[in-house]
Chain A
């Protein structure tokens, strides 16, 4: 009996993922260029939300300044493009900027937890925002940096779309593997009790540092996708508004759920870009949606779907038993 149920579950998984793959692949063939660009925006925002969800899910650390890391990476590329560096040089500068800023965030995570990490990252995001304004010789100040095109083979919107999806999928699959690893288990142990982990002899600080660095690296990737997508970066990309919106994505989609951040990104970007054309007060709409989710579906959209599915399945299960 359990064997057959296992086989049925495997079949469902294979079926659902093939359908998802077909849908993902079909996007450039079926949608307008504008819509493809919009979906790419969802993917890039989703990747940033994934980076927040990594820490939120495994360590219960919510970063309210994640856009600061993404912006560091974007400014890195933008500056390197301005210097006339080749692609490899651009990527190296972006990586260096990402790692330096992430290391500051990671250092902060060692001294704080819970609400204090939230406030610390909020402040760090503000600092990045302020620096983007002040260091105008590097960042272009208020005007930002423009003309940051992706490498030639990714210039067409469909090319860039597939590339972005590939990055997102690789990151999500890799993180799912990490979650099942000893390293992932250690992070959850730290989430549950830092003092117990220390008394077992774990170097808690090193693990937290590593986790924030990994999350920062993913945020940097998201920054890269975003800046290549809009070909432009300005201080607002590091702003509090962006960071907060990313956290909203995670909560709406379902914190700690693998697909949560991407679903949340789709909801937020759709509201921001589509609803806003019909309804000027779209932030109000988003706020209402957030209130509804927090009050009635704390697991977010994905959590809600899971609950609905299990409540649908339960009666069927009891029928086979009775």
Chain B
């Protein structure tokens, strides 16, 4: 069972992002508690990915602030936010294409270790090998360890994308449309994977598939043209008349 704690894992306060004349994110605020799962929904171009980039530190906000476990990280780089426990997946798989699956996993494992600077091979090859095998087994990719990531299927890449974000031992996980392009069977696997995430991990999930989003989360934020038009329990947001017109009116009417 997921236990939503009292402690705020991620606080977003009045975030704004302008690209020239376009306001991609327009005054968004919310708090994600430890262990809480929240979905961000909205039509194409609503500003969901931009919001993630602001939180992760890939983009600088025009104004507003981001706090991770109470610490203001607004002026910190994406790498430092990652080291503070924030991990993300990308809407378009962002992996090390020319490297093998094992090397991709190895890089994710090394990220938090001091020996990432070591200029000679690891002495404990066997121990490291076990960690890699274990990580691969967690996403059922152990038989693909030696394959170049660029040669993986789309579904396998999506799975590796998530596995690598988790290997970082995050406390906050941002998933940007993890189900994009997956088959129905793969979606079921993904749904299970998200359900089985560590209970005190805070998860923010962008998802176009309404039923998946509402099924997996306790809170939903709906964006439209960068503006938060509704936030609350899945049932409430689904029933919200504004949400129905801008979002469900098109996809969810059926």
Contacts and interface: CB of A to CB of B under 8 A. Distances in A.
A192 B104 CA distance: 10
Contacts of A196: 90, 94-96
B82 A183 contact: no
Contacts of A191: 98
A269 B11 CA distance: 62
B60 interface: no
Contact of A203 (B79, B95, B115): B79
A199 B121 contact: no
Interface in B110-156: 110-113, 115-122
A202 B99 CA distance: 17
A201 B80 CA distance: 6
B163 to A, nearest CB: 12
Interface residues of B, number: 36
B108 interface: yes
Given A185-B106, A192-B96, A200 B121 contact: no
A195 B94 contact: yes
B192 interface: no
A200 B96 contact: no
A201 B82 contact: yes
Interface in A188-235: 188-189, 191-193, 195-204
A186 interface: yes
Interface in A153-183: 177-178, 180-183
A183 B118 contact: yes
A198 B95 contact: no
Contacts, number: 94
B112 A201 contact: yes
A41 to B, nearest CB: 30
Contact of A186 (B56, B82, B98, B116): B116
Interface string B35-68: 0000000000000000000001010000000000
B99 A201 contact: no
B87 interface: yes
B122 A182 contact: yes
Contacts of A192: 95-99
Interface string B177-205: 00000000000000000000000000000
Contact of A199 (B78, B97, B112, B119): B78
B18 interface: no
Contact of A182 (B80, B94, B97, B117): B117
A198 B115 contact: no
A205 B145 CA distance: 29
A200 B108 contact: yes
A181 B106 CA distance: 11
A198 B78 contact: yes
Contacts of A199: 56, 58, 78-79, 82, 87-88, 90, 94, 165
A84 B121 CA distance: 43
B32 to A, nearest CB: 18
B168 interface: yes
A180 B118 CA distance: 10
Nearest to A195: B94
A184 B117 CA distance: 9
A180 B107 CA distance: 13
A185 B110 contact: yes
Contacts of A189: 96, 99, 103, 107
Contacts of B119: 177-178, 181, 183-184
The 10 closest A-B pairs by CB, nearest first: A201-B82, A192-B96, A200-B111, A201-B83, A183-B119, A189-B107, A198-B79, A196-B94, A180-B121, A198-B78
22 contacts: A181-B118, A181-B121, A182-B110, A182-B115, A182-B118, A183-B116, A183-B118, A185-B110, A186-B110, A188-B98, A191-B98, A193-B94, A195-B78, A196-B95, A196-B96, A198-B79, A199-B87, A200-B168, A201-B79, A202-B79, A202-B116, A203-B79
Interface of B: 56, 58, 77-80, 82-83, 87-88, 90, 94-99, 103, 106-108, 110-113, 115-122, 164-165, 168
Given A182-B122, A200-B164, 11 more contacts: A177-B120, A182-B115, A193-B94, A193-B96, A198-B78, A198-B82, A199-B79, A199-B88, A201-B80, A201-B82, A202-B79
